[in-house]
Structure 1
């Protein structure tokens, strides 16, 4: 069994991008590339737009 980290542990990698915070709890290196476990903190209204949202493009 692979040990996992706590998201508040200061030694685990925390990646901040576009107002979201991603914490690597179990890395691919720890599982021989089989999977990873990421804690994602996305504030309300954050993240990608809903599926099917229409985006107007300029020509």
Structure 2
């Protein structure tokens, strides 16, 4: 059952640590939804090409 809240109202959600690694929480549950911690060095796509050269030549 969700509680109706007005815009701008402050409240304290309950956070449960679901997974921990090296002393840091890596997965938490807030309001029934799971959230994951992404490390600072997480890959954001593919690796850049080496020396900016094309891999496939025509």
TM-score, length-scaled by structure 1: 0.31
TM-score, length-scaled by structure 2: 0.31
Higher relative contact order (CA 8 A, sep 6+): 1
- In terms of Rg, which structure is larger? 2
